[in-house]
Amino acid sequence: MTNSSSKTSLNNFLLMLLVTGVVLAAPIIFEPFGAGYPDLLQRFAIFGIFAVGFNILFGLTGYLSFGHAAFLGVGSYTAVWSFKLLTMNVVPAIFFSVLLTGLFALIIGYISLRRSGIYFSILTLAFAQMSYNLAYSVLTPITNGETGLQLSLQDPRILDAKNIAGGLPNTNFFGYTMNQTNTYEFFGTAYQFNVGYYVCGVVLILMFYIAMRIFQSPFGMMLKAIKSNQTRMKYTGFDTRPYLIWAFVISGMYAGLAGALLSITDPLAGAERMQWTASGEVVLMTILGGVGTMIGPVLGAALIKYLENIFSAINTGELTRMLSWVPEGMQDFAVSTVGLFVGDGWHLTLGLMFMIVVVFLPGGIMEGVRRIARLFSRRKAGPVEPPRATNIATAGEGGA
């Protein structure tokens, strides 16, 4: 470690301060981008948690898993069952989701981690598809198949008071209902502060802190060592399996937590969350943001969710309005070409962005930021080898 411990703890403190500040002030910060509404902010936080957890596995150990969507699904279903059987309070839901997903991850990880590399990826892929198929058609008493698991009035919520009023109760955190939004006006713009978002945001801050501590712990260093040369580690006498299994279980629990939060903010759990292509989405987020970095995955998750919600909502009418500055003759052409990439075609933009990032900037956004910073810094001279998407962040870079 080249940094002295006090410098690292200062860096950590500043990073945590930055993250806490941005998360708490998000309804204000994101409003000018049209992204200040509760639903989107909740998704930023939830998928941020998911990506941070995935990064612990992929970024630190280099093992690419396509099965995390299954953990997301298990987390969601457990949370909804907790709402149905126990109480609408979110705390037991979160607790049981994380617990069950951790167990599930333990079983899957124990089997999958017997192989490495491409075989591991295909094993996780097989498990994800198996879970999806089971959830969709076989385990329908538990998961309700295609229609998804929903709350109903007949649920025996054992720990809750009797529901006298009609209508489904809302998820709550010791009395504060999740969908309660307070809107305040500052300088003519309305800002929405939503309880559900703040619960997700606080959880994000907490999980980010935990991930940061993991990155900088001896455990984290072992994982990075596994990524850089697993055979050598084994030769020096370390048994790598427990570390790998722990990393897998931890990242699985993060995914389960994200799934639980998804159900908390919207008490419905569907099977399509468990398809392997949903796992592909979190891989995209992590790569886009920067594998192995701390903030990267959160940035990647926020960017992709933003594009998903904002880009895909731009239909032809909006597009024509946005491109009204284009000269008359070119306007139709401009609208039809740009129209390929927005609205329904935003998946195309996503795929292209993904390819461009993997080909040219494998370190993701954080790599881009680092390169730009290097342009302005005169201290380092000479070419530096660009990191690959699957390469290790050096030991000295413990921070963002």
Partner 1 sequence: MEALLLQTLNGLDKGGAYALIALGLTLTFGTLGIVNFAHGALFMLGAFCAVGMNELLTISTKVKDESITFFDAYKEVPILEAKFPVIGPIIVDYSVPLAILITVPLMLLIGWVMERGLIRHFYKRTHADQILVTFGLAIVVQEIVRHYFGANPIPQLAPDVVAGSANIGSWLGMSDNVVYPWWRLIYLVFALVIIAATFAFLRFTTFGMVVRAGMQDREMVGMLGINIQRRFTIVFGLAAVCAGLAGVMYTPILPPDYHMGMDFLVLSFVVVVVGGMGSLGGAVAAGFLLGILQSFAAMNVFKTIVPGIDQIIIYLVAVVILLFRPRGLLGRKGVMDA
Which neighbouring-strand residues pair with 149? 269
Closest CA to 261 of 47, 66, 61, 5: 47
CA distance 149 to 396: 46
Of the residues 189, 229, 277, 316, which one makes contact with partner 1 according to CB under 8 A? 277
Report yes or no: 64 and 276 within 8 Å, Cβ to Cβ.
no
Size of the site for partner 1 (CB under 8 A): 44
- Residues 151 and 85: their CA atoms lie apart, in Å, by 10
| 348 touches partner 1 by CB under 8 A | yes
Does 130 bind partner 1 (CB under 8 A)? Our answer is: yes
Is-contact 363 387, C-beta < 8 A? yes
Residue 142 binds to partner 1 (criterion: CB under 8 A):
no
347 is a site residue for partner 1 (CB under 8 A): yes
Which listed residue (164, 359, 375, 381) binds partner 1 by CB under 8 A?
A: 359
Which residues does residue 150 pair with via DSSP β-bridges, in sequence order? 268
The single residue among 22, 86, 134, 310 that binds partner 1, judged by CB under 8 A, is: 134
Binding mask 72-111 for partner 1 (x = CB under 8 A): ---------------------------------------x
Instruction: Specify the residue, 113 or 207, whose C-beta has the smaller distance to partner 1.
Output: 113
> Pattern 46-65, binding to partner 1, x per CB under 8 A?
----------------x-x-
**Do 190 and 181 form a contact (C-beta atoms < 8 A)?**
no
- The answer to whether 227 and 58 have CB atoms below 8 angstroms apart is no
Do 98 and 79 meet the contact criterion of CB atoms below 8 Å apart? no
Distance of closest approach, residue 113 Cβ to partner 1, in angstroms: 11
The rounded Cα 266 to chain-centroid distance in angstroms is 17
- Residues lying near partner 1 in the complex (CB under 8 A): 62, 64, 111, 114-119, 121-123, 125-127, 129-130, 133-134, 136-139, 276-277, 280, 283, 287, 340, 344-345, 347-348, 350-352, 354-355, 358-359, 362, 388-390
